[in-house]
Amino acid sequence: MEMIGMEGSHAVAEAVKLADADVVAAYPITPQTHIVERLAEMVADGELNAEYIPVESEHSAMSACLGSSATGARTFTATAGQGLELMHEVVYVASSMRLPIVMAVANRALSAPLSVWGDHSDVMAVRDTSWIQVFAENGQQAFDLTLCAFRIGEDPKVLFPVMVHLDGFHLSHVVEPLVLLEKSQVDKFLPPYKHPYSLDCDRPVTMGAFAMPAVYAEVKKAQHDAFLATKQVILKAWKEYGKLSGRHYSPVEHYHTDDAKVLLLTMGSFSETAMVAVDELRKKGEKVGLIRLRLWRPFPFEELRQAVANAEVLIVLDRCISFGGPPGPVCSEVRAALYAEQKRPKVVGFIGGLGGREIAVAEFKQMVSRGREAADKGAEAVPQITGIR
Amino acid sequence: METYAIYVPRLLPQKDFFAPGHRACIGCGEALAVRLVTKTLGRNVIISNATGCMEIVSSPYPTTSWRVPWIHTLFENASAVASGVEAALKILNAKGKRGDSPKVVAMGGDGATSDIGLQALSGAWERGHNFLYVCYDNEAYMNTGIQRSSATPYGASTTTSPAGKVSIGQTRWKKNLPAIAVAHNIPYVATACPSYPFDLIEKVKKAVAIPGPAYLHVLSVCPTGWRHATDLTIRIGRLAVETGVFPLYEVENGSYKLSMDFPKLRPVRDYLSPQGRFRHLHEEEIDRIQERVTAEYEKLKKKAEA
Ligand SMILES: Cc1ncc(C[n+]2csc(CCOP(=O)(O)OP(=O)(O)O)c2C)c(N)n1
């Protein structure tokens, strides 16, 4: 396929079309709008043979997705920020009832004050919902990861829903060069969706029974175990996708990490800016590298430990504040993952990029020097906020 | 009324799809209504159930009372879930991925329907999804302990609208959900009560036969919440109808038809007095209720005559 220029949102819509989704139920919210507008257009033009349900709220969007997925339809939705908060209750149900819905989240800050711009506060509020969660860094990845999301979630060994995170505006609204796939390639990669227990009059099932204390904990333990086991399927799907497309994904991705003493860790679109900062610092002879967390859930403990084993300082960027808690959710998880390691870097947490605030290359370089200083002084536990005027 | 003339119990299907052994209270009018509705619907149906008494009494894992495919997810979203089921059936059939077209039915209590789930229900009606929504109206949040809802009638004492030294209990008139349904211009709206089983059954049949959204509002007598003897359930339901407190009617494409009319309504006092929830009411309030019931009944009759 040839390279084309396309907005991240439209790339997601193209992936949904290539996956031949059966049902899309969505409610518009900036910066997710371009995804669902494009899908509505595709349905209106007969390019995508799907039912588009223009629901009256995000709560109903995810609820309609439950019904649709349980009936055996390949189901997609997209949201952002407040929308994800409004559907919060239903997000838990989707995963706990093992319905492999795919949802793109054009990450957005949370009110108040109202902000339509990007950060990761919305993601962190759904961190523990047992949705598989991946982060894209550019439009190409948003496309690739959305296609992979259907394959992974619908695998009979998985049956969990998948969130594809793409930063609001930075990814959702930017036109980038990217390459799509042929329908024939996708058909080989993505088998038809078949839920083993869908709503069927010949084989009636009771879905969503309630649990007394005598069984609830066992159900949750089983869910946790099944969720952890999805990792193998994720790795396999990404490997196959790599063969198919030439684009390779892994839970933790490395950029100049081999000899790095100082490592940055990012999630999402800022990773590309951080790469430029690493390049510039390397030119000056500094042994700096970058770790990009691709797979947020299930958390890639092993891969992370290996990736940072030889570093002295690890600087983690969070685009979310955990008010009154540890520096940021990503940083505290990274710290927790490394706590039991004999040899581990000092971990310094930065919070930045809130509500659409840019982080430029120079600021990443500053984070490296400030982070290193804090580590030298033994002050790495103190959270730092970057870019505050 | 014609259906009463051919009252032959043998005409009812034997098979039940809401199995016995569920944990509903003795004398539960709601469970009886569910049994009649599911008996009528038969095996080719997918049910989306809101959280509430009927969900809780029927599905303590690993047991179930449901002999048809049934999905419960949350309290306020049964109609959104049903929207998804209906849309999925439509497209999967069109794409040749499924070859069946079961009826889709959503159900919930009056709280799930007229309060927390009203937005989702209104959305589904507006979008025109082809499913029947059945509201089992026991006039309060019974599952959580008899708290008032917007369907709780004026003067009823509940745990969050208790009658007290300076309060008569519920101070608002019951929200008119069937009228709200009619305002959505859906093709079929009806009220029913399991005290009139054949009327209920006919309405269920009609509701699922008509394409497009249908709404059935079923008065479901609740001895536990209404505080009356458990063997009075059928009687109280009949009194609700005979006094005009809960008239039975249908609205097909906007035109009203009374399912049964009474030359003379019984006084509301006959309905109120066996129920503990109204025990505290004074003459003055009973008169006020009587006035309101008479006026509302007249309005309804006018609509039916128009
Ligand atoms: C979002 C949410 N809020 C509150 C509840 C608690 N709750 C469960 S059932 C119920 C009341 C149900 O009342 P109704 O819909 O009238 O049905 P009934 O139990 O009377 O049949 C409430 C308040 C809940 N499950 N979810």
Write out the DSSP string of A311-322.
-SEEEEEESS--
Q: Is B143 in the pocket of ligand 1 (CB under 6 A)?
A: yes
Give SS3 for B87. helix
pLDDT band at B272; cut points 50, 70, 90:
very high
Alpha-helix residue ranges (DSSP H) falling in chain A = 8-18, 33-44, 58-70, 81-86, 88-96, 121-125, 139-154, 183-189, 213-228, 230-245, 270-283, 301-308, 329-338, 361-376
Query: B246 with B238: CB under 8 angstroms?
Result: no
Q: Which of A59, A62, A165 is nearest to A119 (CA)?
A: A165
Q: Which of B246, B277, B233 is nearest to B35 (CA)?
A: B233
In this prediction, residue B9 carries a pLDDT of: 63
The type of residue at A219 is V
In this prediction, residue B2 carries a pLDDT of: 57
Helix (H) or strand (E) holding B138, with range, is none
Helix (H) or strand (E) holding B85, with range, is helix B78-94
Q: Please give the average per-residue pLDDT across A112-121, as a whole number.
A: 98
Identify whether residues A194 and A80 lie together within a single domain.
yes
Q: Please give the average per-residue pLDDT across B196-208, as a whole number.
A: 97
In this prediction, residue A79 carries a pLDDT of: 98
Q: What's the gap in Å between B244 CA and the centre of ligand 1?
A: 28
pLDDT band at B83; cut points 50, 70, 90:
very high
In this prediction, residue B7 carries a pLDDT of: 58
Residue A318 forms contact with B (CB below 8 Å):
no
Distances (CA, A) of A271 to A254, A349, A369: 11, 16, 18
B112 is written with which tokens?
């799930």
Q: Is B177 in the pocket of ligand 1 (CB under 6 A)?
A: no
Q: What's the gap in Å between B80 CA and the centre of ligand 1?
A: 16
Max alpha carbon distance in chain A (Å)? 69
Is the predicted ipTM greater than 0.95, yes or no?
A: yes
The type of residue at A285 is G
CATH number of the domain where residue A198 is located: 3.40.50.970
What's the CA gap between A165 and A106, in Å, rounded? 6
Q: What's the gap in Å between B51 CA and the centre of ligand 1?
A: 6
Residue written as token pair 């016995």? B20
Mutate to test the pocket of ligand 1, among B75, B79, B224 (most ligand atoms within 8 A of CB): B75
Q: Please give the average per-residue pLDDT across A71-80, as a whole number.
A: 98
Instruction: Give the N- to C-terminal CA distance of chain B in Å, as an integer.
Output: 20
Phi-psi region of B70 (alpha: psi -120 to 50; beta: other; left: phi over 0): beta
In this prediction, residue B256 carries a pLDDT of: 98
In this prediction, residue B306 carries a pLDDT of: 86
What's the CA gap between B251 and B258, in Å, rounded? 9
Q: Kindly determine whether residue B77 and residue A65, on different chains, have CB atoms separated by under 8 Å.
A: no
Q: Kindly determine whether residue A206 and residue B90, on different chains, have CB atoms separated by under 8 Å.
A: no
Domain end residue (candidates: A222, A245, A268): A245
In this prediction, residue A320 carries a pLDDT of: 97
Identify whether residues A40 and A93 lie together within a single domain.
yes
Query: A195 with A159: CB under 8 angstroms?
Result: yes
In this prediction, residue A118 carries a pLDDT of: 97
Q: Please give the average per-residue pLDDT across A294-309, as a whole number.
A: 98
In this prediction, residue B138 carries a pLDDT of: 98
What's the CA gap between A368 and A69, in Å, rounded? 45
What's the CA gap between A377 and A7, in Å, rounded? 44
User: Inter-axis angle of helices A8-18 and A139-154, to 10 degrees?
Assistant: 30
Backbone angles phi, psi at B103, to 5 degrees: -70, 150
What's the CA gap between A333 and A347, in Å, rounded? 11
Q: What's the gap in Å between B111 CA and the centre of ligand 1?
A: 6
Q: Tell me which DSSP letter residue B9 carries.
A: G
Instruction: State how many domains chain A has.
Output: 2
Answer whether residue B4 shows pLDDT above 70.
Answer: no
Q: Is B53 in the pocket of ligand 1 (CB under 6 A)?
A: yes
* B44: closest chain A residue by CA: A201
* B122: closest chain A residue by CA: A56
Distance of CA B105 to the CA centre of its chain: 13
pLDDT band at B124; cut points 50, 70, 90:
very high
Q: Please give the average per-residue pLDDT across A9-35, as a whole number.
A: 98
- CB-nearest partner of B89 from A71, A192, A204: A71
Ordered DSSP codes for B189-205: EEEE-TTSHHHHHHHHH
Identify whether residues A230 and A346 lie together within a single domain.
no
In this prediction, residue B64 carries a pLDDT of: 98
Answer whether residue A383 shows pLDDT above 90.
Answer: no
Q: Is B241 in the pocket of ligand 1 (CB under 6 A)?
A: no
Residue B100 forms contact with A (CB below 8 Å):
yes
Residue B23 forms contact with A (CB below 8 Å):
no
Q: Tell me which DSSP letter residue B281 carries.
A: -
A317-346 tens-digit pLDDT: 999 999 998 879 999 999 999 999 999 999
Q: Is B75 in the pocket of ligand 1 (CB under 6 A)?
A: yes
In this prediction, residue A380 carries a pLDDT of: 86
Specify the pairing of strand A3-7 against strand A175-179.
antiparallel
Looking at chain B, the whole-number percentage of residues with pLDDT higher than 90 is: 94
In this prediction, residue B73 carries a pLDDT of: 98
In this prediction, residue A327 carries a pLDDT of: 79
Q: Please give the average per-residue pLDDT across B106-118, as a whole number.
A: 98
Identify whether residues A207 and A299 lie together within a single domain.
no
Give the burial string for A230-244 (b: 16+ CB within 10 Å, else e). bbebbbebbeebeeb
What's the CA gap between A258 and A266, in Å, rounded? 17
Q: Please give the average per-residue pLDDT across A146-161, as a whole number.
A: 98
What's this model's pTM, rounded to 2 decimal places? Answer: 0.97
Max alpha carbon distance in chain B (Å)? 65
Specify the pairing of strand A288-293 against strand A252-255.
antiparallel
Answer whether residue A122 shows pLDDT above 70.
Answer: yes
Count chain A–chain B contacts defined by CB atoms under 8 A.
Answer: 165
Mutate to test the pocket of ligand 1, among B72, B119, B139, B141 (most ligand atoms within 8 A of CB): B141
A111 is written with which tokens?
């009110």
A33-70 tens-digit pLDDT: 999 999 999 999 999 999 999 999 999 999 999 999 99
Average pLDDT, chain A: 97
What's the CA gap between A140 and B196, in Å, rounded? 62
Q: Is B112 in the pocket of ligand 1 (CB under 6 A)?
A: yes
Domain end residue (candidates: A209, A229, A245): A245
Domain end residue (candidates: A230, A245, A260): A245
Identify whether residues A257 and A367 lie together within a single domain.
yes
In this prediction, residue B8 carries a pLDDT of: 56
Radius of gyration of chain A (CA): 21
Looking at chain A, the whole-number percentage of residues with pLDDT higher than 90 is: 97
Q: Kindly determine whether residue B88 and residue A60, on different chains, have CB atoms separated by under 8 Å.
A: no
- Residue B20's contacts (CB-CB under 8 Å, 6 or more residues apart) are B65
B133-186 tens-digit pLDDT: 999 999 999 999 999 999 999 999 999 999 999 999 999 999 999 999 999 999
Q: Tell me which DSSP letter residue B59 carries.
A: -
**Residue A301 belongs to what domain range?**
252-385
Q: Please give the average per-residue pLDDT across A290-317, as a whole number.
A: 98
Identify whether residues A231 and A303 lie together within a single domain.
no
Q: Which CATH architecture has domain B29-305?
A: 3-Layer(aba) Sandwich (3.40)
In this prediction, residue B6 carries a pLDDT of: 59
Which ligand 1 atom is the nearest neighbour of the CA of B151? 16
The type of residue at A320 is C
